[in-house]
Structure 1
Amino acid sequence: MSTGKGIKRIKNNPVFYAELKKGHEISLTDYSWNKLKNLAKKKGLSASEYVEQWLRDTAD
């Protein structure tokens, strides 16, 4: 996925998706949270964006 470099960001205007992201909460063990952060880091993503892409790529 593109990093969005060169895209002018405007408040309340989505850049990558058709809708804005909102804050949500999930509970994870420290082990799972650290694993998620490490997997995301390897791809150069935030934990949030890693989960977003994972769910969008998962077949229904």
Structure 2
Amino acid sequence: MSTGKGKKRIREQPVLYDEPKKKRGVMLTDTAWYKIQELAALNSMSASEYLEQMIRNHSMTDG
């Protein structure tokens, strides 16, 4: 999937998906958080984008 690099970012306008992202809160242990950051860095993306793609790839629905 494209990282959206080179696209001008405009507030409230989605770049990678059909909908804008919203701020959410998730509680994780330090171990899980550091592992997500490590895996995201290995894939050259943010922790937020890493989680988004991981969830979308494992979703059983199309929504």
The TM-score with structure 1 as length reference comes to 0.89
Deviation for aligned residue 1:5: 2.1
Of residues 5-14 and 40-49 in structure 1, the stretch that sits farther from structure 2 once superposed is 5-14
Deviation for aligned residue 1:7: 1.3
The TM-score with structure 2 as length reference comes to 0.86
Q: Is 1:24 the counterpart of 2:40 in the alignment?
A: no
Distance 1:20 1:59 in 2: 18
Matches within 5 A, 1:1-60: 1-60=1-60
- The superposition leaves residues 6-47 of structure 1 with CA deviations (integer Å, 9 ceiling, x where unpaired) of 212222110000111001111111111101100111000111
* Aligned residues: CA RMSD: 1.0
Structure 1: segments with no counterpart, 5+ residues:
none
Give the letter for the 1:8 counterpart: K
* Identity, % of aligned positions: 50
Distance 2:27 2:6 in 1: 35
Per chain length, whose mean CA-contact separation is higher, i.e. which structure has more relative contact order (CA < 8 Å, sep 6+)?
2
After superposing on structure 2, the runs of 4+ consecutive aligned residues of structure 1 that deviate more than 6 Å are none
Figure out how many residues of one structure are paired with residues of the other and give that number: 60
Structure 2: segments with no counterpart, 5+ residues:
none
